[in-house]
């Protein structure tokens, strides 16, 4: 099990791979562990057994099974953990419901989180911000954004605008490895864009392209660069069939 160490001290954040292209993010402070979006319990249980870390909490961004399908089993193994999930979800396991503007601290750690509601991909979708780390689930991807399954184009567009108010140095921890395909799509709209060409070059042979930074997203993500809702809708529809 490889734990990737980040340059900043705390927390360390490392991906646990799941399914085809999901990332379950593991936040580590001292011997404590927080898990974001455990779609599958098995790789998380393996990670805990290898790392000997102490699972304290699970954060869930939205109701899709590949983000919370592992919670029941993890909860059965660790019944004292605190689970945070969107207030607009309706899960059978016990959880603390959080929504726009919500703030909480994980007991026994220095880790604080702020919550933003980002409906569009699903209606319940939220993102978590810890210091300069953004856990954005399926709302924002590296050079892309989530498909609109439940919300409206308008909701997704407004959700993405919220990221523009955040610090550009923020690291972006998305829940899927879609980066190269997303850059290829962005290049199909803008084939000679140097920043996109450079981004493709730097991501092409990397096994894990995340986290990205909001700065990179502000500069190259076509969904954040869309000048209005009409342009956003047009490129989201084009991406759906790319
Ligand atoms: Zn999803």
**192 Cα to the center of ligand 1, angstroms:** 31
| Residue listed under structure tokens 């569009």 | 120
Give, rounded to a whole angstrom, the gap between the first and last alpha carbons of the chain. Answer: 35
Give, as residue ranges, everything with CB less than 5 Å from ion ligand 1: 64, 138
User: What is the Cα Rg of the chain in Å?
Assistant: 17
Confidence of residue 2 (pLDDT cuts 50, 70, 90): low
How many Cα atoms sit within 13 Å of 68 on the Cβ side?
A: 22
For the stretch 14-73, pLDDT in tens is 999 999 999 999 999 999 999 999 999 999 999 999 999 999 999 999 999 999 999 999
Find out whether 197 and 134 touch, Cβ atoms under 8 Å: no
Instruction: Report CA(39)–ligand 1 centroid distance (Å).
Output: 10
Average pLDDT over residues 116-135: 98
Q: How far apart are CA 46 and CA 217, in angstroms?
A: 33
Ligand 1 centroid distance, CA of 30 (Å): 30
Q: What is the mean pLDDT of residues 77-88?
A: 97
Taken in order of first residue, the domains within the chain and their CATH numbers are 12-240 (3.60.15.10)
User: Separation of 218 CA from ligand 1 center, angstroms?
Assistant: 22
Distance (Å) from CA 176 to ligand 1 centroid: 9
Measured in Å, residue 54 CA sits from the centre of ligand 1 at 27
Q: How far, in Å, from the CA of 66 to the mean position of ligand 1?
A: 7
Burial class (CB in 10 A: 0-12, 13-18, 19+), 114: middle
10 band by pLDDT with thresholds 50, 70 and 90: confident
Check: CB of residue 5 under 8 Å from CB of residue 35. no
Cis before 11 (ω within 30): yes
The pLDDT of 97-122, averaged and rounded, is 97
**Cα three-residue angle 143-148-149, rounded to 5 degrees:** 140
- C-alpha 44 chain-centroid distance: 17
Which pairing describes strands 133-137 and 126-130: parallel, antiparallel, or unpaired? Answer: antiparallel
Q: How far is the CA of 137 from the centre of ligand 1 (A)?
A: 7
When pLDDT is averaged across residues 119-139 and rounded to a whole number, the result is 98
């Amino acid at each position: 099990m490889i734990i990737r160490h980040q340059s900043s001290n705390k927390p360390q954040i490392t991906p646990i791979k799941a399914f085809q292209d999901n990332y379950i993010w593991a936040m580590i402070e001292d011997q404590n562990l927080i898990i974001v979006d455990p779609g599958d319990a098995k790789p998380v249980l393996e990670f805990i057994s290898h790392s000997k870390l102490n699972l304290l909490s699970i954060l869930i961004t939205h109701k899709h099974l590949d983000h919370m399908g592992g919670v029941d089993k993890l909860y059965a193994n660790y019944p004292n953990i605190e689970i945070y999930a969107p207030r607009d979800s309706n899960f059978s396991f016990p959880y603390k419901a959080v929504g726009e503007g919500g703030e909480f601290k994980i007991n026994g750690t220095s880790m604080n989180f702020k919550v933003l509601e980002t409906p569009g991909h699903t209606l319940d979708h939220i993102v978590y911000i810890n210091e300069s780390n953004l856990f954005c689930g399926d709302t924002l991807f590296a050079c892309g954004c989530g498909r609109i399954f439940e919300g409206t184009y308008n909701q997704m567009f407004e959700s993405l605008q919220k990221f523009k108010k955040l610090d550009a140095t923020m690291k972006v921890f998305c829940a899927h490895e879609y980066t190269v395909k997303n850059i290829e799509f962005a290049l199909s709209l803008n084939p000679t864009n140097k920043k996109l060409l450079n981004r493709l070059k730097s991501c092409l042979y990397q096994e894990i392209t995340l986290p990205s930074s909001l700065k990179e997203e502000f500069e190259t993500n076509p969904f954040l660069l869309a000048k209005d809702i009409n342009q956003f809708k047009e490129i989201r529809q084009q991406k759906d069939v790319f």
